[in-house]
Structures are given as structure tokens and as C-alpha cells.
Amino acid sequence: MAIAKTKVTVPDFSLSPRIDQVGVEERASRFTKRSIKKETKLNGLKLVLNMIDLTTLEGKDTDGKVRQLCYKAMHPHDSIPGIPTVAAVCVYPSMVKVAKKALEGSGIKVASVATAFPSGQAPKDIKIRDTKFAVNEGADEVDMVISRGKFHAGEYNFVFDEISAIKEACGNARLKVILETGELGTFDKVRRASDIAMYAGADFIKTSTGKIQPAATMPVTLVMLEAIRDFYYKTGKMIGMKPAGGISKSKLALHYLVMVKEVLGEDWLNNEWFRFGASSLANDVLMQIAKEKTGLYQSANYFSID
């Protein structure tokens, strides 16, 4: 049932809901105990693959490496029929043009990190220029990091205004806001940061850069999913979710899908509204799909190294 849109009133973020840590951890653990039957498992694995953002974010990235990753994004495994592509390829702004050309006509999105990724330690004008450069190079999506120092100092309006400015700089590109939950410390702070990002204009909220441990966890993702649900009930606006880092096995990814379905519903079970930031997950998913189709595991040597 559709929720009627209402005027969005920005709340006092210091009054964000308190989170029951024990309750969240117990509920998250229950999602890992669901049994998934064979046909449902195969469909789920294909869905997981289609939700992955293949990523290369290294100082040693070259044009050739990015092109190779784009080829894998379009052709995850040529010998298995009916395999979907991944959702996006995520690169630094300087590599956006290379990825855009390599993916031309594929329908796969080009995402770019920006805003002094991964630290976020740069003046706002530099972050805005970084964002505009990525978009002008052809980025369909921008993954920004929040200023965690300002957040921990209680300067919530600063964080809100910065996200709003980056959203404006994105133009038509979708904005994923990375909270870096491993540096936030508590579920209460994860919820508060989620609320700030959504009210400031995020199209997605994302757990992590993948550079800090712990990265994505099911309890943290559950807190963020519940924030998205509450925001939707208040505003009628859907927000996407992207757990990133630490998800390398298909079984765990399927548990995440179960959680998304039970918390947000089937409308979120597509790559328009849910993504995995987990390049290493792709090969495990391909191995599991091959096992479901043939009954045999393939060696990891049959799969390209990202």
C-alpha cells in the first residue's frame, strides 16, 4: 500500500531514537537461521550478483585494470547461461571516464567515490569540486563519506549541510552517503547518522568505505534498514541501502536479502534500492550458482581475480 507523501520536516537529530542493542543483535541473528530451498536459493544468488558494485579503489589502479574489471562486470562467467551482470563498477573520479567508455551500452552504472574518500578530511569546497568532477566525467552515482569528526563533535547541522551541498553538486547522479559505521561506535550513533543523511537528501545510505574494520555487519545494517523504514513511513520516500565491506560469502549475502525483505519488503529487493559493496563476493556467488546448476563445485581458478 502506497504511503501518501507529506512535507518533510527536518527533526532535531539530537533526539534520534535510542536503539536496543540486545534486541537488534538477537533479531539480526534470527535472520541467519532461515532455511532457503534450492530454487529460491538459485534465484537469490542471481539477485545478489545483480546487486553487487564491483570496486577498485587503489592507488595503483590503471586504465587497464579498470577495463578488466568492467569486462568482468559485463561478463561475470561466460560459460554459465542466464547469468546477470553486476549493478555498477565503482572507481575513483580520475577513472570514471575509462569505466564509462568500457561499459557503454551495457546498462551497468558507473559509481565514483568522492569527497576526500575515505577520510572525508577536506574542506567542503574541495569536496564539492571533487563531486562535480566525477559527475562531469560521467558518473551515474556518487559515494560520499560524511565528516565523522564533526559528527562526533555533535555538529550535526554541519554534517547535514555538507550532505545537502554534495547532493546539489550531484545533479542527476544518485548520492550514496557512507556513514563509516566502524568509526561511529554505537547503534544510537548509526541511527542518528542515518537520519541525518536521509533528511539531507541521500538516495542511498551505506555502511562503510571498506577501509575500516569492522565494516558491514548484520546488526548495523538492521539499524539502518529500520531507519529507512521509519523515514519511508514519515515521508513516502524510498531510500536505498548498501552494506559494504566484510561480505564475501554467498550464504551471508542471502541472509541480508532475507533481512531486507522482512524489514522493508519486496519493493527493495532489486539493485535500484539495494546493493552490496563487496567485489570478492562475486566469485563466491558464481561458484555457488555453478554448484546449484551442475551439482559440482568449480575451482576458484576458473574465476578471474578482481
Percent of the chain as helix, strand, coil, to the nearest 5: 50, 10, 40
Give the CATH number of the domain where residue 68 resides.
Answer: 3.20.20.70
Quick check: is 9 in a domain?
no
Q: What is the pLDDT of residues 13-44, one digit of tens each?
A: 888 889 999 999 999 999 998 878 777 899 99
Sheet holding 174-178, edge to edge: 53-55, 88-91, 109-113, 141-145, 174-178, 204-206, 240-242
Of 72, 97, 109, 143, which one is the catalytic site residue? 143
Quick check: is 1 in a domain?
no
Render 143-196 in DSSP notation, one character per residue.
EEE--HHHHHTT-HHHHHHHHHHHHHHHTTSEEEEE--GGGT-SHHHHHHHHHH
| CA distances, 71 to each of 82, 89, 101, 103, 272 (Å) | 17, 10, 11, 8, 21
Q: Which three cell numbers stand for residue 256?
A: 541480508
Residue 111 pairs in a beta bridge with 90, 141
**Residue 206: active-site member:** yes
What pLDDT score does 304 carry? 53
CA atoms of 53 and 154, how far apart (whole Å): 32
What domain range is 235 assigned to?
20-27+38-293
Of 41, 176, 242, 284, which one is the catalytic site residue? 242
The whole model's pTM is what?
0.92
214: preceding bond cis by omega (within 30 degrees) = yes
Query: Among residues 141, 209, 210, 134, which one has the least CA distance to residue 176?
Result: 141
Of all residues in the chain, the percent with pLDDT exceeding 70 is 93
Q: What is the pLDDT of residues 252-277, one digit of tens each?
A: 999 999 999 999 999 999 999 999 99
Quick check: is 50 in a domain?
yes
Q: Is 295 or 273 the better-scoring residue by pLDDT? A: 273
CA atoms of 5 and 7, how far apart (whole Å): 7
What backbone torsions phi and psi does residue 109 show, to the nearest 5 degrees?
-80, 155
**Residue 242: active-site member:** yes
> How many domains, in total, are found in the chain?
1
What pLDDT score does 1 carry? 42
**Residue 234: active-site member:** no
Please report how many Cα atoms fall inside a 13 Å half-sphere around the Cα of residue 98, on the Cβ side. 18
Quick check: is 74 in a domain?
yes
Quick check: is 304 in a domain?
no
Quick check: is 170 in a domain?
yes
Quick check: is 199 in a domain?
yes
Task: Tell me the pLDDT band of 296, cut-offs 50, 70 and 90.
Answer: low
